[in-house]
Amino acid sequence: MTTTTEPATTTPAAPATIATGRLPMARLTLVELRKLADTRAGFWLLVVIGLATAGTSAIILGWSADQEMTFEGFFAFGLLPSAVLLPVLGVLSVTSEWSQRTALSTFTLVPTRGRVLIAKVTAGVLIAVAATVATAALSAVANVLGRALGGDGAWHLDASLLWQGLLLQVIFVLMGIGFGALLLSTPLAIVLYFALPMVWTILGEMIKGLHTAAGWLDLNVTTAPLSEADMTGNEYARLAVAAAVWVLVPLVAGTVRVLRREVT
Amino acid sequence: MITVENLTKRYGAQRAVDDVSFTCEPGTVTGFLGPNGAGKSTTMRMICGLTPPTSGSATVSGVPYRRLGNPGRHVGVLLDASAQHAGRTGRETLALAAMTMGLDTARVPERLARVGLNATAGKRRVRAYSLGMRQRLGLAYAMLGDPAVLILDEPANGLDPEGIFWMRGLLREFADRGGTVLLSSHLLREVEAVADRLVMIGGGRILTQGDKDVLLGAGGTVVRPEDPAAFDALLRRLDLTGSRSADGTVLVQSEPAPIARAAAATGVVLLEVRPAGVGGLEEMFLRLTGTTDPTEVTR
């Protein structure tokens, strides 16, 4: 820090013209996207996701049978790291506002808190799209390498797998944002995000009476068909119900909490 | 222009802020004074729409804060210098604010320099900032959108004497250009040098408010008489009481003018007559806020 403390030629007091227009949603979304990557935690999380995705390709190239080295194979496995770690970024995007207390400055610049949350959700969807596209690109590179190493190298990818892969990413990112908004505490939200569905899956498998319920309400079970081409209507219905419980409910309840909570 | 009308905030049975009203006019610096836990921060958070009031209302430039379209262009707010992401650089913190307000981020380095943060400091993460540097960053953040109104909660906290002097100049100049400043502090002397108006709060209630000079005058008059005995007789005739200090001066609870006139009329020689000023105000401040039981201070 320097001590250039000249009694500065400072801010002229602007005429008090009160713009009634709201801040454009696109701008708020851009700000939220930037906030995902401009902190040390966010930046390294994205780096780790990138490296881990590359790692999945490396694993297939190094240890899989030749006929498994296809574009589809690389893509399906490559989605795994971002599906697991992007939701953590979603959690952080909300909880860090409270743990780092930036909510104070965020909401003084944008007092309509609901719009900030919408921007966060949009940013989350966009980062999920970006992750899916990046995974596809990385898989293409890996497939070219695989061909050179004597792999199958087939380029066929069922279009439904692309959309379903994207849906998987979006669902988990939004679930992360929902858990973050509902709990407003980074450690609590991350732990519960991973632990609760796992506990539910274990219970669903152990307790006979829960089998049917788990088929509709266990997100781990209902998202499994997303990795198979051409999901059926029934499978989509089950996924929709589970997503409503695990994504929509936390998002709505979390929004209510953020709107009401006093910012200190 | 800030208008606060009958703001009240209750937490359970406790009234953190109780029927607080005041206005801050353009071209003035208003000092918002009170001990810790008096309700200053809660009042400021209610003005900024961060805390919903139990009753009452507040407007900035005639509009409730939450209805301001792009608040950062009208009001600069610094409520807590530590409330910035520790993992973000100073420059990034301002860049995000500039983006949000729809401003060119190119102005950021220059704004950092204005508050005494050079390029190296701007590239460091806020985690590594001292409290003084965070206050400077906070001031740059508040003034980034060239607002007409500034709301600052204890901005001098953590600043060195030079920094406090610099900040006073900054705020004075801002007000002289027609800006409105609301500035809180628990230290009277810190605010006294820059404020035009004072609002004193204790236990959630307004204790006194008004022009600084009037309030300072209300602190009493310091008189140095040539003949103490003659002056005592004069005070008795005026039905006033004075308290004598070791340095030979007498503090009288009155305006200077009536004492000087009475002394001239009766031929009592006075070597010095002046408003008790900040000393008297401080005494009043302690007297007014002294009734608050310190054990009830919650923040």
Contact across the interface for A1 and B118, Cβ inside 8 Å: yes
Q: Is the pLDDT of residue A37 over 60?
A: yes
Three-class SS of residue B206? strand
Write down the pLDDT at residue B28: 97
Q: Write out pLDDT tens, residues A125-137.
A: 999 999 999 999 9
**Chain A residue whose CA is closest to B92:** A38
Q: Which of A59-73, A162-176, B281-295 has the highest mean pLDDT?
A: A162-176
Helices A71-99 and A159-183: crossing angle in degrees, nearest 10, is 20
Domains, chain B, in order of start with CATH, read 2-214 (3.40.50.300), 220-275 (3.30.70)
Which pair of tokens denotes residue A231? Answer: 């999901």
pLDDT at B207: 86
Residue A18 has a pLDDT of: 59
A7: contact with B, CB 8 A cutoff: yes
Amino acid A114: pLDDT: 95
- The answer to whether A199 and A217 are in contact (CB under 8 A) is no
Position B242 scores a pLDDT of 80
**Residue B294: per-residue pLDDT:** 44
| Contact yes or no for B118 and A104 at CB 8 A | no
Q: What would the two tokens of residue A248 be?
A: 């929509």
> Is A148 at the interface with chain B, CB within 8 A?
no
pLDDT band at A22 (very low <50, low <70, confident <90, very high): confident
**pLDDT attached to residue B247:** 74
Query: How close A92 comes to chain B (CA, Å)?
Result: 12
Confirm if B196 and B244 have CB atoms less than 8 A apart.
no
**Residue with structure tokens 């980062």?**
A127
CA angle A102, A96, A244 (to 5 degrees): 125
The interface pTM score, or ipTM, of the predicted complex is: 0.86
Global pTM value: 0.85
pLDDT in tens, A209-259: 888 888 899 998 899 999 888 899 999 999 999 999 999 999 999 999 999
Q: Is the pLDDT of residue A94 over 60?
A: yes
CB contact under 8 A, B50 and A262: yes
Name which of B81, B89, B102, B83 is nearest B144 in CA terms.
Answer: B102
Nearest to B66 by CA among A33, A15, A23, A121: A23
Say whether pLDDT at A185 is over 90: yes
Tokens standing for residue B74: 């009208």
Residue-level pLDDT, tens digit, chain B, 299 residues: 999 999 999 999 999 999 999 999 999 999 999 888 899 999 999 999 999 999 999 999 999 999 998 999 999 999 999 999 999 999 999 999 999 999 999 999 999 999 999 999 999 999 999 999 999 999 999 999 999 999 999 999 889 999 999 999 999 999 999 999 999 998 887 888 899 999 999 889 998 899 988 777 666 788 889 988 889 888 888 888 887 777 778 888 888 888 889 899 988 899 988 877 666 666 667 666 664 444 444 44
